[in-house]
Structures are given as structure tokens and as C-alpha cells.
Chains A and B, each alone.
Chain A
Amino acid sequence: MRRHALGLRLLALLFAALLVAAWQGLADARLISPVFFPSPSRTIAALVAMEQRGDLWWPLAATSLRMFYGWVLASLAGILLGSGLARSGPVRAYLEPFLEFLRPLPASAIIPPAILLLGLTSKMAVVVIAFGALWPVLLGAYHGFCSVDPQLVEMATALGMRWRSFLWKVALPSALPDIFAGVRVSLAIALILAIVTEMQSAQPGLGFLILMAQRNFRSAELFAGIVALGVLGLVTNQVLMTAERWLLRWRTLRG
């Protein structure tokens, strides 16, 4: 059985390698236009060249930082609003319809007004990112705070727990799995919006970099940028999943 799994893993690697090799072969044989699809070797060469010129880490850092700020803002606001909506009737009555209308609004649609109001600044980017990334956390938190075990709530009331310690010790831990599900989706959205805002407002970053590469028909650099963005998405998601596993370790311990 172990050997079987190992064989499959090898096959998976082989498949990926085959795909890359086919791409390289097609590109070398000029069967696909090098203008659109640079060969993998050229892509990697472009990536290395960018690194050596120092054109890789700065844009990467700028994009990640903006993404991070927007995402943190969205997460905090989402958890706050979500807990309010779930635990308080009046908050729900006043805010829910308004939020229901805002939610399906494509986040990128608020870029033009945001630019008009805040200019082509990092602040604008962070606001747009936070707006777009808010909804998954909000929904996750709302759902999580709604589904706190009623027995736990009764227990907390019986113990005369204060509101704040109830929130901190009972509600938040039991809502955490749902919040994390939302937070992870939010992170992906934050990355997307970081790229879009860069493309729109010409701020230094990977999104702007690939747009410039396209404008100058430097397809190898374009692909290098896409690869870098893919890696960024993969890494941030992995980090978050590790954090989730660590923060929620009590769940698996008990189960």
C-alpha cells in the first residue's frame, strides 16, 4: 500500500514534469508563439534576472504588505460586525439589509470612486482591499457566533459570566473555526484586489509589474510575475492553514 502511494506520487511528479517538458518542447519548436508563451526555461531565466536586478523582492513586499494591511482591517471589522449581527437583535435589524445590498457589489467596482475620493494612494488600495475582503470574514463570523452551543450559553449565564469574558472565553473559541474559513477566503480576495488596485493606480508591486511586462511584450517577465503571484498565494494560504491548525489544536485533541 505504501509503495502504491509512493508510485502515485512519482507519477504525479512525472505528469507535472511532462507538462513542463511538453511546453518547453512546443516553445522550442516554435509551435506556440514565443510572444504569448515563453518557454519555462525563459520564464525561469526572467525570474532569476529580476531577482538579480532587485526587481523581484520589492514589488513582492509592496504587494504583500498592502494585501496584509487590508486583510487585517477586514478581519477585525468582519469579526466585530459578525459578532454584533449574530448576538444583537437591534444591530441586525438596522444593519442587515444595508449590508445585504453592499455584499454582492463587486469590490473592484468601488475602485473608481475610491480613486476619486482618496487619490492614487496606498490608502485607497488598502480601503478597497479591506472592503472586498470583509464579506467572507463577516459571514464566517456571523455564522460562527450564531451557532454557539446553547448549552454553553446557558452554562455561562449560570456562572454569571460577564459579557466580555463570555465573548472571549466561550463565543470566540467556538466561532473560530468558521472565522478561519472566512479569513482564508478573504486572504485570497485580498491578494486579488491588491493586484487589481496596483494595475489601476500604477503603484509599485507585482500586479503593476506584470501589466508593464504585457505592455512591453515581455512575455517571459509576465509569466515570471504570474508564477511569483501564484507562489505568494500558495505560501500565504499555507501559513494561514498552519496557524489554523495550531490555534484549533484543542478541537482535534478533544475529538
Chain B
Amino acid sequence: MARNRQAAGWRAIGSLRGVAIPALLLALWEAGAALGVVPEDTMSRPSAIAVAGWRALWDGSLVLATIQTFQCALIGLALAAMIAIASGVLIGLLPALEAVVGPTLDAIRPVPAVAIIPLALLIYGFGVRMEVLVVTFACVWPILIVAVSAVRGMEPRLMDIARTLEMSLAARLWRIVLPAVLARIAVGVRVSAGIALVVAVTVEIVLNPQGLGYSLTVAAQSLHPDLMWAELLWVGLTGWAFNRLLTMIDRRWLWRFHAWAGA
């Protein structure tokens, strides 16, 4: 018991040490601004940033921007997951197909997703659709690669069993293949989820006039550095929270499949 308490104490000190550097930086920043060492027209004071952030949160502009960004990121991710899982499972089940299609895919894959931005703009103009297109393009690849290798690495006996039971193709896919590969595909989806948010913000920063990225650019260009820093902080926080949420989903609902895949 005593040892437990001591351990908890150490942990508390440990987490305090983690806060030390950011706190020190903030204090230096604030003090520097107060003394006029830090130029306030670009590095506005932490206290001003907090006020600006609170105001933006209160009038709803930040919330709206967040919803816009996440909407595009999630739609793009969902589309990418559907495309990638369907084609990944197909390619994984048919090695000949991979040999035929693979080189073409390998040639398209290194194209950076942001290079698609002008093309997407040309096709759809500003708005949700062009952003979704870019996000989808970026998110397809990790899921596709993982899906193919997951199907490839499936326990071969499972397919034997399916054959012995004379399962139909649909039943085979639904009851044998999908459960066996879901855990590994989930890993790919998690990677892509992180990419989705980053790409969505990037598209908005580069040219799409909506969402968090755009409001960040507007704040910077209209010389509201306090709002800009607040929004940067907010982007960081939402990204971090999103990441935590994904980890939680993974732990709560997908662990069963992890166990399966290990067996």
C-alpha cells in the first residue's frame, strides 16, 4: 500500500516533469512579450492567445471549421476504406490479378496526394468534393497495402475449411476472409485516419476556403497572430483527441480480432 502510494507519487512527479518544458516556454514567452523582447505582432502573448481562442470557440466559428474539416476527412476516409478493402481483398485472393494490376498501382502510388489538389480543384471547384477526392486518394494506399498482405497472410487451412464446407463465395468472404483480416486492416485504417485529417487540413491551407486550415490561413494573413496561434493549438488538440479516440476504439472493440489473428 505504502509502496503503491509512493509509486503514484513518483508518477505524479513524472507527469509534472512532462509539463515543465511547455510551462517554462510559455512563461518565457509571456515574460518576453511583456518586456518587449518577443515581437508581439507575430508572437502574440500566451494570455492574448488564450483570450482569442476562447472567443473563437464561443462564437462558434472554430466549431464550425472543425466540423467542416472532420466531415471531409471522415467521408474521404470512409470512401478510401471501401475502395481499398474491396480491391485489396480481391487482389489478395487472386495473385495473378496482383501481378497484372500491381505494377500500374505501384506507378500511381508515389504521386504525392497534394499534387492532386490542383487537379481536384479543376474537376470539382472549391468545396467538399474536391477535398474529399484528395483525402480519398491519400488514404487508399495504406489500407490497400495492408489489406492485400493481410489476405495473403491468412491461415491457409481456413480456406480449406471453407472449401470442405462448400461455402458460397459470399459466405466465404463474409464469414472466413473478413473476420480473419479485419484486425490487420484496422491497423491500415488507423494509419489512414491520421493521414485523412492531415490531408484535409493541408488542402484547406493550400486553397480550399473552408475548415480549420482555411481559418488558420485567414488569421495569419489578416494579421491576427493571437487567433492564429490559438487555432494552431486547437488543430493540435483535435488531432491529438482524434488519435486517442482511434486508440480507444481499437482497444475496446477490435481486440477480439487481434486475438483471432494471433491464434
User: Which residues of A are in contact with B by a Cβ distance under 8 Å?
Assistant: 5, 8-9, 11-16, 19, 35-36, 90, 93-98, 100-102, 104-113, 115-117, 188, 191-192, 195-196, 199-200, 207, 210-211, 213-214, 217, 219, 222-223, 225-226, 229-231, 233-234, 237
- Among B116, B206, B221, which residue has the most Cβ atoms of chain A within 10 A? B206
Residues on the B chain within 8 Å of A104, using CB: 194, 236, 239-240, 242-243
Query: Is B35's beta carbon under 8 Å from chain A?
Result: no
Q: When the two chains form their complex, are residues B198 and A210 in contact, meaning their CB atoms are under 8 A apart? A: no
Contacts A106-B202, A199-B117, A230-B110 aside, 14 further interface pairs with beta carbons under 8 A come to A5-B99, A13-B103, A36-B122, A95-B21, A97-B18, A102-B236, A106-B201, A107-B198, A108-B213, A113-B225, A117-B43, A192-B202, A199-B206, A214-B122
- Compute how far the CA of A27 lies from the CA of B57 in the bound complex, rounded to whole angstroms: 49
Query: Is B112's beta carbon under 8 Å from chain A?
Result: yes
Closest to B111 in A: A230
Q: When the two chains form their complex, are residues A222 and B119 in contact, meaning their CB atoms are under 8 A apart? A: yes
A105-B239 contact in complex given A12-B101, A112-B217, A188-B112, C-beta closer than 8 Å: yes
Residues on the B chain within 8 Å of A11, using CB: 99-100
A214-B100 contact in complex given A97-B15, A112-B216, A230-B107, C-beta closer than 8 Å: no
Whole-angstrom distance between the Cβ of B65 and the nearest chain A Cβ: 12
- Secondary structure at the B interface, as helix, strand, loop or mixed, is helix
User: Which residues of B are in contact with A by a Cβ distance under 8 Å?
Assistant: 14-15, 17-22, 42-43, 96, 99-104, 107-108, 110-119, 121-123, 194, 197-198, 201-202, 205-207, 212-213, 216-217, 219-221, 225, 228-229, 232, 235-236, 239-240, 242-243
Q: When the two chains form their complex, are residues B235 and A230 in contact, meaning their CB atoms are under 8 A apart? A: no
Q: When the two chains form their complex, are residues A109 and B201 in contact, meaning their CB atoms are under 8 A apart? A: yes
A105-B235 contact in complex given A112-B216, A116-B42, C-beta closer than 8 Å: yes
Q: When the two chains form their complex, are residues A112 and B220 in contact, meaning their CB atoms are under 8 A apart? A: yes
- Compute how far the CA of A142 lies from the CA of B114 in the bound complex, rounded to whole angstroms: 29
- Secondary structure at the A interface, as helix, strand, loop or mixed, is helix
- Compute how far the CA of A196 lies from the CA of B202 in the bound complex, rounded to whole angstroms: 8
Closest to A191 in B: B112
Q: Could you list 22 examples of A-B contacts with CB < 8 Å? A: A5-B99, A11-B100, A14-B100, A16-B103, A36-B122, A97-B18, A104-B240, A104-B242, A105-B232, A105-B236, A109-B205, A112-B205, A112-B216, A188-B112, A195-B115, A199-B114, A200-B205, A200-B206, A210-B118, A226-B111, A229-B115, A234-B107
- Among B114, B236, B240, which residue has the most Cβ atoms of chain A within 10 A? B114
Residues on the B chain within 8 Å of A233, using CB: 110-112
Whole-angstrom distance between the Cβ of B90 and the nearest chain A Cβ: 15
- Compute how far the CA of A174 lies from the CA of B243 in the bound complex, rounded to whole angstroms: 30
Residues on the B chain within 8 Å of A12, using CB: 99-104
Residues on the A chain within 8 Å of B18, using CB: 93-94, 96-98
Q: When the two chains form their complex, are residues A117 and B42 in contact, meaning their CB atoms are under 8 A apart? A: yes
Q: When the two chains form their complex, are residues B239 and A106 in contact, meaning their CB atoms are under 8 A apart? A: yes
Closest to B113 in A: A192
Residues on the A chain within 8 Å of B123, using CB: 36
Residues on the A chain within 8 Å of B22, using CB: 97-98, 101
Closest to B205 in A: A108
- Compute how far the CA of A101 lies from the CA of B43 in the bound complex, rounded to whole angstroms: 20
- Compute how far the CA of A69 lies from the CA of B191 in the bound complex, rounded to whole angstroms: 26
What 4 A-B pairs are tightest by C-beta distance, nearest first? A97-B18, A214-B118, A233-B110, A112-B220
Q: Which of B101, B119, B220 is within 8 Å of A113, CB to CB?
A: B220
- Compute how far the CA of A13 lies from the CA of B99 in the bound complex, rounded to whole angstroms: 10
- Compute how far the CA of A96 lies from the CA of B19 in the bound complex, rounded to whole angstroms: 10
